[in-house]
Amino acid sequence: MRRRSFLKSTLLSGLAASVLKSKMVDGAVLKESKGKVLVVSSYNGLRATEKAAQMILNGSDALDAVIAGVNIVENDPDDHSVGYGGLPNEEGVVELDSCVMHGPTHNAGAVAALRNIKNPSKVARLVMERTDHVLLVGEGALKFAKAHGFKEEDLLTDEARKIWLYWKEGLSDKDDWFLPPMDQIPEKYKKWIHTTGTITCLGLDLQGNISGVTTTSGLAFKIPGRVGDSPIIGAGLYVDNEVGACGSTGRGEENLKNLSCYQVVEYMRDGLSPEAACKKVLKRVIDHAKLPELKNSRGYPSFNLRLYALNKNGEFGSASIYGPAEFSVFDGKENKRRPSPFFYEWKYLK
């Protein structure tokens, strides 16, 4: 373990211990703790789980905590799959999707194709709390965000613009755009060509309540207006306070056709562990991928999808179509990445 992560995880364990100790001194607060504190997120969510765990241990509702956690990644210009610095649509404009779901009220809110606002998760929460609706899209979502005081800003960072420009220049040899020689394009830019990325974060708080959030810039270089799974309740996120929660990252289209997160929660309701439920649903997604474009030349899925879940008893799990894969977890003691089971090694995706 790197020194920095060791210090962080030790700090969190220390914090957990000190919070529990002070709650014991406080007596009344200890009674409120229904069990284990747990935060689960995608690979890119280690800072989110850390932040959310700190807040939950200090008594926050899981929804406040997980949104504050993903805001760190939404604000990070170096994560090109989420928020500020996210990769743009085919016209070079960043469009963001997000949803939230609050277990205790079984309420939800979402925004899709939202431009110029870097924290779509905060806007999704306001849709839930300050409207009679669940999902606002495009211009309506932007107007709603501005009505609530969000400031418009250009979300396209210089690095994301360059990645988009290389993609555009490399699209065709029958147009007037030329790529520079490949050896002049930094390696780190090449790996982003036509990719998806997202962050999801699920939390179980001291009250035994569960909430979740998913937020993304979606498929890189998408057709303007394309909406993936992330803002769709049941696809990119689902929470049932009596059972558990599931979030997803990866190819949204296949998730939309299977409502994977809803199904994971339903399998957990039937008694499956979070990991077993994630695996069972991904197996179904793979079986349903019958279209030729969803298979590569060797017959393997031409896309990846990952599911992350926790249940009311404080158990957690994840699964990925391709791996090795990891996900981020604060399990009440340690905040670290853990391996995710997978169906196929990455080499079979090529």
Positions annotated as catalytic residues are: 198
The nearest distance, CB 289 to ligand GLY, in angstroms, is 15
Cβ proximity to ligand GLY, 54 vs 89, nearer residue:
89
The bridge status of strand 244-250 relative to strand 237-240 is antiparallel
C-beta separation of 181 from 191 below 8 A: no
d(CA 204, CA 346) in angstroms, rounded, equals 32
Residue number, 210 or 305, with CB nearest to ligand GLY: 305
Q: Where does this chain bind ligand GLY (CB under 6 A)?
A: 196, 198, 216, 218-219, 228-230, 249-252
Distance CA 143, CA 155 (A): 17
> What span, in angstroms and rounded, lies between the C-alpha atoms of 202 and 220?
24
Residue 344 C-beta: closest distance to ligand GLY, Å: 19
Q: Residue 317: which of 333, 297, 338, 335 has the closest Cα?
A: 338
Cross-strand pairs, 210: 204
Q: Measured from the CB of residue 253, what is the shortest distance to ligand GLY in angstroms?
A: 7
CB of 231 or CB of 332, closer to ligand GLY: 231
Least Cα distance to 210 among 34, 4, 10, 30 occurs for 34
Using the minimum distance from each CB to ligand GLY, give the nearer residue, 12 or 237.
237
Pick the closest to residue 350 from 314, 302, 309, 312 (CA basis).
302
Q: For ligand GLY, give the closer residue by CB, 16 or 286.
A: 286
Helical packing angle, 138-147 and 120-130, nearest 10°: 80
Contact 248, 237 (CB under 8 A): yes
Q: To the nearest whole angstrom, how small is the minimum distance from the Cβ of residue 230 to ligand GLY?
A: 5
Residue 338: beta bridge partners?
327
Taking the complex as a whole, the smallest distance from the CB of residue 234 to ligand GLY amounts, in Å, to 14
Distance CA 284, CA 280 (A): 6
